[in-house]
Amino acid sequence: MANIDPTRMYKRPMPSARSGAIYNAFSYATKIDAEAVAVFIASHTEPGGAVLDVFGGSGTTGIAASLCDRPTDRMRRLARDAGVTPAWGPRKAVVYELSSVGALLGQVMANPPDPNEFTTAAHQILQAATDAFGWAYAAMSPDGKPGRIRHVIWSEVLKTPCCGHHVTLWDAAIELDPLVFSTSFTCPNCSARADVAGCAREMRTATDPLTAERIVQRVRRPVRVYGESSNRTWSRPPTDEDLALIGEVEATPIGSGTPTGSIHWGDLHRSGYHAGISRFHHLYTARNLRAVAELWRRADEYNGTLGDALRLLVLSYNASHSSLLTRVVVKKGQKDFVVSGAQTGVLYISGLPVEKNVLAGVGRKVKTFAEAFALTYGSRSEVEVINGSSTHLHLPDNSVDYVFTDPPFGDFIPYAEVNQVNEAWLGKLTDRTAEVIVSPSQGKGVDEYARLMAQVFSEVARVMRPTGCATVVFHASKPAVWHALGDAFSRNALAVDRTSVLDKTQVSFKQVVHEGGTRGDALFLLRPVEGAPIGAAADVDSLDDVVAALESAAAGDPDELVPRRMYSRYVARCVEARVPVDVTASEFYAHVSGARSVQGVA
């Protein structure tokens, strides 16, 4: 049987890793650790128990339900460290997800095809695509040996303010071995100094080859080719042969299934680097658009679960590595750039976008997918993934034993806008009218967000058994968003029984750079209570008293004394006590820093 007191697992932060085959198979914003979630499910329910997730995201709860029947060694260690004794075995899970790509991801990962059949089919479509289009990635090494492209760095073209001279960003600002990325340069034409940020970007007017529209776009040129020949890697400037190959690619017909529809720009649109990018195919180089289309056409020849898995494989490399969203990063002490993927949760296009070899990249993903599928294939758990809004659930009253969910964090990630790059290939974009989000472009403020959040938790309260419970993961830096969450709990008679922290061992890029980002997400254990609203709020302590209490509770644990962790604890306490969150994360950090400065504490 499950642990008789699963609340023990809320006494200390639950580690949430950002590694492993399941995590690495597909990049998805704010994805959390399925193995950690499985420990929660198996500790709060018995085998056969009904589990629900109303904000499915990447399908983590469904994947976790499948893992409950196939516990990994790490899951057993997590349970032991948390002081609980889960009842491993199959569960029945229902996952609601508004995004079509999120729903596909959850469905495939929780109910995968045979890993061996998948591997065979994946290699078949890759070989067929390589036979048909591999020539487009051919390149000669600097010493004249035939090889293939690994990736190509492209560059925007600057127009100097001094004399209007055109020069690539690469030539103006980049030096290699050691790598130097300068913010200013000497104009090659008139020798005046110019700031990169002060330079206009060269634009061009052209006819879109796929829509016949006249478009104005930023000019981008290939500036560095990276390849391999005879298992040796190399890099060099582009040659006339490279440029001729690009011209040949541009003249190659493209598959009819390629998405050419309009991008639904919203909160992420920037008039600068998104200039002229109005349709989905504008997000790719000519070569990579055709490579993705070739793979997509061949994956589409398969039906059922195997076909879904092959399409997911292609999409796993699409938005994050196949498009102009792919970028290079500067790391101290390096001789050259480090190639990365797209920044998670944004649609940023750098001045030096990267064109990766799509065929080679997708090929490298096959093993990771097969390893992930092996973890859940054959599980006796039943996982149903519904691509739709959770404001109206199809489930009967009092039918769910446990809910684990990770709601959208206000305006933190505009999921529909981010996911559309992959959803365009599926032919089904997210219905934004039902998206629970704070979004100026959608005309949704905190009030609209709170209304939708309350609707969802009204459904949670309706379907949850009187003996059931829910674990909610949340992260925000703005008091109004926290108030919306707390109000959704209280008006639906869901009482906070315990609080804790989900400790992300590696925080996301967005959490690092977001103003007032927190370290770790708050965890709430909710239980239904009779009547609504729940009783009066507790008295409000001063912020000084709250900080002092948190530092005292930390008992010298350095992780608990980190201001970002303390803020997660602070807001969790506020929601539990039904008192307002009075300060933003950045204000809280400043208060802690000021108090420690007065006390002479580092």
Reference 402, options 92, 59, 96; nearest CA is 92
Which pLDDT value is given to residue 561?
A: 78
Could you tell me how many residues make up the chain? 602
Handedness of CA 346, 348, 354, 355 (dihedral sign): positive
In this prediction, residue 572 carries a pLDDT of: 83
- What is the per-residue pLDDT for 537? 52
CA nearest neighbour of 455 among 214, 77, 96: 96
For residue 427, is pLDDT > 90?
Answer: yes
368, 375 contact by CB (below 8 A)? no
DSSP H or E stretch at residue 561: none
In whole angstroms, how far apart are CA 213 and each of 205, 257, 275, 282, 368?
A: 10, 19, 15, 12, 40
Kindly indicate the confidence band of residue 61, based on its pLDDT and cuts at 50, 70 and 90: very high
Question: What percent of the chain has a predicted confidence (pLDDT) above 70?
Answer: 93
- The predicted model gives 54-60 an average pLDDT of 96
Q: What is the mean pLDDT of residues 60-68?
A: 98
Q: What are phi and psi of 143, to 5 degrees?
A: -100, 15
State the pLDDT at residue 600: 56
Confidence category of residue 507, pLDDT binned at 50, 70, 90: very low
Q: What percent of the chain has pLDDT over 90?
A: 78
Looking at residue 597, its pLDDT comes to 62
- Indicate the average pLDDT of the chain: 91
Q: Is the pLDDT of residue 297 over 50?
A: yes
Interval 166-198: pLDDT, tens = 999 999 999 999 999 999 999 999 999 999 999
> Which of these, 415, 408, 407, 261, lies nearest to 347 by C-alpha position?
415
Q: What is the pLDDT of residue 180?
A: 93
* Of residues 495, 401, 499, 497, the one with CA closest to residue 14: 499
- Our measurement of the distance from residue 171's CA atom to the centroid of its chain's CA atoms, rounded to an integer in Å, reads 33
Element (H, E) at 564: helix 563-577
Q: What would the pLDDT profile of 400-410 be if each residue is shown by its tens digit?
A: 999 999 999 99
CA 415 → CA 64, 92, 411, 435, distances in Å?
Answer: 22, 27, 10, 9
Kindly report, residue by residue over 546-592, the tens digit of the pLDDT.
777 777 777 667 777 788 778 888 888 888 887 888 888 888 888 87
**pLDDT above 60 for 512:** no
Nearest to 43 by CA among 102, 84, 93, 99: 84
The confidence score (pLDDT) of residue 163 equals 97
The answer to whether 52 and 383 have CB atoms below 8 angstroms apart is: no
Global confidence as pTM = 0.92
- Kindly tell me if the per-residue pLDDT of 510 is higher than 70: no
pLDDT recorded at residue 539: 57
- Comparing 602 with 322, the larger pLDDT belongs to 322
pLDDT reported for residue 516: 43
pLDDT (tens digit, 9 = 90+) per residue, 361-396?
A: 999 999 999 999 999 999 999 999 999 999 999 999
| Least confident span in 385-389, 419-423, 531-535 | 531-535
